[in-house]
Structure 1
Amino acid sequence: MTRAFPVSLLCHFLVLATIVWFGSHVTRQVLPRQHNISVRLARLPQPRPEVARDEPVQPPLQEEDQIPEPVVQQERRETPAVVPEEPERRVVAETKEPEPAARRNDPAPDVSDAAAPVTQPETRAPQPVVGTDVAIPPRFAYYIDLLESRIARNWHPKQLGFREASARVCKIHFHVEQNGLITRETIVQSSGVPLMDRESLKAVRSVGHFMPLPRGLADNALGVTYTFTLTSGN
């Protein structure tokens, strides 16, 4: 702290001196002078309306000037009536489809006597949930996802032989040190099944040494709560 304070004070002094130095040399933009020009609006002359001119009346043609057009009489030609020809009738022989052969009256197999397959309940293991003691920024979400997948690989619920239809939950709390070491593993919520609690604790301890914490994620160590949920079929 004693060495950092003079260095920080010197840096702040240099920054303030630089701002004052460059601020005095800033060139101000010269604005052009504005000239006021008085303008007077004048009305445009309206166009004169056009006067309709009377067209000269042509004198009627006299009877002598009119020449009668000859009338041409058209001769009517009789066209012979066309008798439509009857289309030829084509005789198509009807072919009968062969009748299907009679099916054999075989007795249907009795399905009721067949033995139904016996289904055994299988244990379902949903993805566990990871919670942290502090809020994780979005840029460090990848670290939590990698830690969750690492513990999930060590979790083997099928080896427990759990056959009950109810869900079992076990929560393990632990710390991730700055160097990535997993420490202080404790059971904060027991599932009621000692074998499941031991397997959950073993899955966390098997990680051993994880990746170091990213810079800025936590000051000392990161507290994590891992929730294991185990359900079985009916």
Structure 2
Amino acid sequence: MGQPVEQIVRRKLSDEVFDRLERLITSGELKPGDEMPSERVLMERFGVGRPAIREAMQALANMGLVNISHGERAKVLQLTAKSIFRQVDLTAKIMLSQSSDSLEQLKSARIFFERGMAREAAARATQKDVADLHEIIERQRASLGQAEEFISADMQFHTRIAQISGNPIFVAVSEAMLAWLKAYHTDMLIWTGKEKFTLVEHEEILARLAENDADGAEQAILKHLERSRALYAK
């Protein structure tokens, strides 16, 4: 038998330009905050026309590597866990809307994650952390009956617990999962009185964190999320 044919696919010019521009960033030749070279400079440097440069630059922007502002030179962005998750925000929401399995899997992943965050927070919580969480609970109590404000404070409570870890990736994961679940959580207040359970459970979680009780904090957050799990409905 002869060797299989390995066809060489001609790549678009813009793909080649994209690779070169990406290398400028990954090599450190261009750093976060730096301006990208002008279209004219890049056209001369790579020997290509303006459309190829613009298409490659738009691809970089779509990946969150550069920011393009009208009338200004494109700038290299600082990549963070937060900005990376934002890139997949829309596709994650579409995935959840298309599959009830995915929604259940995300709820399970969130519970697994939050249990770890509770233990981490219990080991590290300072008086300032406890005071901040108490203030969020009071804001949540003041917004009873106002779904958007109540849920916003709910999300802040859980993200603030993640912040106690001091790890920005944990914070970004917390924010991302909450944002993806939010679409399925906004009708929770039609269950009269359920939001009061949330406040009581948040207070219980905070009490355990304030005592640096890792086991108690984990159990309190598990009880809270298992109960509220049913409120995230398609």
Q: Same fold (TM over 0.5)?
A: no
- TM-score (ref. length: structure 2): 0.21
- TM-score (ref. length: structure 1): 0.21
Which of these two proteins has the greater Rg computed from alpha carbons? 1
More strand as a share of residues:
1
